[in-house]
Amino acid sequence: MELLINLSYIVSASFFVFGLKMLSSPRTARAGNLISAVGMLLAIVMTLLDRGIVDFRWIVLGLAVGSVVGLFAARLVAMTAMPEMVAIFNGFGGIASLLVGWSVYHRVLDTAVFQTVTIALSVLIGGVTFTGSLVAFAKLNGLITGKPVLYKGQHIVNTAIVVSILAVAVLFGINPADGYSFFLVLVGISLLFGVLFVIPIGGADMPVVISLLNSFSGLAACAAGFVIENNLLIVAGALVGASGIILTNIMWKAMNRSLPNVLFSGFGSAKTAGGAAVSGEAQAISAEDAFLVLEAATSVVIVPGYGLAVAQAQHAVKELGDLLEANGTEVRYAIHPVAGRMPGHMNVLLAEANVPYDQLVEMDDINPTLNTVDVCMVIGANDVVNPAAREDETSPIYGMPIINVDEARTVFVLKRSLGVGFAGIGNPLFYKENTRMLFGDAKQTLQALIGEFKGM
């Protein structure tokens, strides 16, 4: 039996590695996710059987309940709410690790030094991940303000909490058998620190925060693996933690900022507001006139943003893209790494509408060609196409890599108004000579353009 368990762990770990590798490409991501899920199912079943915790009846019941919950979550959660779902899943991973550490501490009060350290780490990282993810969920869902919540002496308070965590952890580790009160304090401080850790981070930085919390959930699981001495959980947690850190690094570099700046600058608050005043006269255009330009275009680049998800317009943009291609136009979709509210948000959104993967082009690849493009259509994006990042040294986003849509011959911006984006700063793109504003709901505007093409 032990040999079978170990072999199943090796198979599961292989599934994780191959599945993670397949997630690097949109073409293979769905299969990679399925392979990883099968690996996790195998690992859970064999672990429960190995430790004699439950029999097959309970495993089947858990599988059935989990499948139903997952099915409803996948089918009913709108694409606009996908970042919130990812955030809450991160939180579930964190609280699971905390409870595992708590359970083992109750079961074996006189733990060895190494196990005591890993229990403290699983509780600490798991608690921070849980409440931090809840705050991220609330910000993304609009339950609390998406702007940074700052107060005087914030850094001093956070430093004091970190020092307190270290002190309580040491006191707990000295005598864990009689340190239950210190353990409870550690749990409470960890949960509090998760709130204070995420609350000063603005909504514009949510892609970085979500990927960081994802990494935390993996590290918490890794610590829980050491607690229960399960090698596969250690491997799985380490893979998630490492991949989350790599993704976080990609996110903050895409914003031309450091991780401390993201976590502690309060970007998007009144304190950080800056940049030259944006003024001018925006030139509006009707769908009928925009159609005439698109009909004559040989190349069109579509830049999706969060507004596309809000309008649920991904299927409309796919239909318009098909009509443009049928008219002999080359159509591509330019994807910014931090567009939307989570890493890969636009890729997932367009994949749902069956946009061909080879039409999705990353920012670094599309930018050198934009000066040859006839029309750039910006749908719901704002900060990731803001020329102030190149032109205004006083702007908070100066130096941030953007998609240089203003270099195209003509730019159509689909927006409800001239309002600012999530970063809270004005966009001079709206007032450029080659920009035309298509005001209104993005889905309705796209449907109007589709109607024009069909009426040709």
Cα 194–chain centre separation: 17
Pair 309, 436: CB distance under 8 Å: no
| pLDDT computed for residue 271 by the predictor | 45
| pLDDT computed for residue 270 by the predictor | 43
Mean pLDDT of 24-52: 81
Dump pLDDT digits (tens) for 198-216.
Answer: 888 876 677 788 888 999 9
Structure tokens at 212: 């960081």
* Exposure string for 226-257, b = 16+ CB within 10 A, e = fewer: bbbebebbbbbbbbbbebbbebbeebbebbeb
Split at pLDDT 50, 70, 90, the class of 423 is: low
Dump pLDDT digits (tens) for 352-405.
Answer: 888 988 899 999 999 999 999 999 999 988 888 999 888 888 877 788 889 999
| pLDDT computed for residue 110 by the predictor | 62
Split at pLDDT 50, 70, 90, the class of 188 is: very high
The 3-state DSSP class for residue 1 equals coil
| pLDDT computed for residue 30 by the predictor | 82
The 3-state DSSP class for residue 399 equals coil
Contacts of 273 (CB under 8 A, 6+ apart): 396, 424, 425
Catalytic residues: 383
Mean pLDDT of 406-428: 84
Q: What CA–CA distance (Å, rounded) separates 143 from 132?
A: 14
| pLDDT computed for residue 107 by the predictor | 76
Q: What CA–CA distance (Å, rounded) separates 283 from 155?
A: 45
**β-pair partners for 335:** 362
Dump pLDDT digits (tens) for 234-271.
Answer: 988 998 899 888 888 887 777 766 666 666 655 444 44
Percent of the chain with pLDDT over 90: 36
Pair 157, 222: CB distance under 8 Å: no
What single string gives the DSSP state of each residue in 207-244?
HHHHHHHHHHHHHHHHHHHHHHT-HHHHHHHHHHHHHH
Q: What CA–CA distance (Å, rounded) separates 381 from 377?
A: 10
Structure tokens at 157: 């308070």
Q: What CA–CA distance (Å, rounded) separates 262 from 424?
A: 15
Structure tokens at 78: 């709108």
pTM value is: 0.78
Mean pLDDT of 302-320: 90
Percent of the chain with pLDDT over 70: 90
CATH fold of 287-454, please? Rossmann fold (3.40.50)
| pLDDT computed for residue 269 by the predictor | 46
Q: What CA–CA distance (Å, rounded) separates 374 from 146?
A: 36
Give span(s): CATH 3.40.50.1220, the chain. Answer: 287-454
